[in-house]
Amino acid sequence: QAKNEGRNCFKYFSEALTLAARERIGIEFRLRRAMDNQEFRLFYQPQLKIGSGEIVGVEALIRWQTDSGELIPPLKFIPIAEETGLIAGLGRWVLQEACRQGKAWLDAGLPPLRIAVNLSPTQFMHGDICAIVASTLAETGFPANYLELELTESALMKREKEAIDILNRLHELGVHLAIDDFGTGYSSLAYLKAFPLDVLKIDKSFIDDIPMQNDDMEITATIIAMAKTLRMQVIAEGVETPAQMAFLRSRNCDFYQGYIASKPLPAAEFEIFLHQHKPEPNA
Ligand code: C2E
Ligand code: MG
Ligand code: MG
Ligand code: MG
C-alpha cells in the first residue's frame, strides 16, 4: 500500500516536472523568437516628488507583447531569460531603447526626466556592463546624468568587493545608481555605506499595509531615516492610497511611484499623461 502510494507520488512529481521543464523550454524558444521579431516594449511609470507632485523621472519596465496582442509581464519571463543567458541580449535592448526614448523626449523639448532602468544580477556581474552602458550612452546621445540604473540587494551582496568596483566605474560615467526592492534582501549596512548609491527604493511590501500595520510604518520610517543618514534620496514603490501618501510626506520621503499617480504606460500614453499632469502642492 505504502509502496504503491510512493510510486504514485513519484509518477505525479515526474509528470509535473516534465510539464514544467517542457513549459520552460517552450518559453525559452518563444523568447528567442520574440527577440528576433521585436516583440518587446518598454512601458514607463512616473516618479514624483512628494510635496510638489512634480514628475522627476520614469522607470522603464519591460513587457512582452506577443503577436496575438497579449501582454506578458516581466516576472513571467525575466527569470527564464536570466537562467538561459538570454538576459544579456534582452538587457542590452532595454538599455538601448530606454536611452533612445529618453533622447527623443529631450529632442522633442519635453522637460528633462531621469530614466530608471532595471539591471538583472547576471547583467550586472557578467559581461562588461560599464562598457555596455558607456557605448549605449555614446550611440544614443542620452546624457549619463539622466540615466539611473536599478540594482537589487541580491545582485550587490553576492560578491561585494567586485560589486563596489563595478558601481564605482558606473558612477564615474555619471549615471545614477539606485537600490531596488530595498528591505527584501539581506543588505549589510557596512556595505550599503561603501556602495556609491544615490537612491534607495523602499519595497512595495512595506508600503502595502500602511496605515494598518504599525510595524510596516516603523520600518518604512526607519528606512527613510537611514537613507537620509547615508545621504541617499529615497523613493517609495507601489503607493496606491492617500493615506500612504500622507504617511510618507509626514516622514519626509523624497519621491513616490505607484498606481495612485499612474500605472506604467506605453511611451505615447506617458506623453499624454505628462501633458495633462498638474503638479499639486502638498500632493
Ligand atoms: P520593480 O523594478 O520593483 O518594478 C516595480 C513593479 O511594481 C512593476 O511591476 C510595477 O508595474 C509595479 N507597480 C508599481 N506601482 C504599483 C502599484 O501602485 N501597485 C501595484 N500592485 N504594482 C505597482 P512590473 O512592471 O510587472 O515589473 C516587475 C519586476 O520585473 C520589476 O520590479 C523588475 O524587477 C522586473 N523588470 C521589469 N522590467 C525589467 C527590465 O527591463 N529588466 C530587468 N532585468 N528586470 C525588469
Ligand atoms: Mg525597479
Ligand atoms: Mg522595485
Ligand atoms: Mg519588485
pLDDT of residue 34: 95
Q: Residue 217 C-alpha to ligand 3 middle, in angstroms?
A: 18
| Residue whose CA is at the smallest distance from ligand 1 atom 3 | 181
∠ CA 234-189-133, nearest 5°, is 60
In whole angstroms, give the CA distance from residue 148 to residue 129: 14
| Count of residues in the chain | 283
pLDDT in the model for residue 38: 95
ipTM of the complex: 0.98
What grid cell was written down for 184?
Answer: 527584501
Centre of ligand 3 to C-alpha 11, Å, is 39
- For residue 230, the model assigns a pLDDT of 95
Give the distance (Å) from ligand 4 centre to CA of residue 14: 32
Closest Cα to atom 41 of ligand 1: 62
Peptide bond preceding 74 in cis form (omega within 30 of 0): no
Cα–Cα distances (Å) from 82 to 71, 124, 175, in that order, read 19, 11, 24
pLDDT at 12: 64
- What is the per-residue pLDDT for 5? 56
Phi/psi at 111 (nearest 5 deg)? -60, 140
Which of the residues in the chain have pLDDT under 50?
Answer: 2
Is residue 225 within 8 Å of residue 207, measured between CB atoms?
no
Q: Are 21 and 227 in contact (CB under 8 A)?
A: no
11: burial class by Cβ within 10 Å (0-12, 13-18, 19+)? exposed
- At residue 24, the pLDDT reads 80
pTM: 0.93
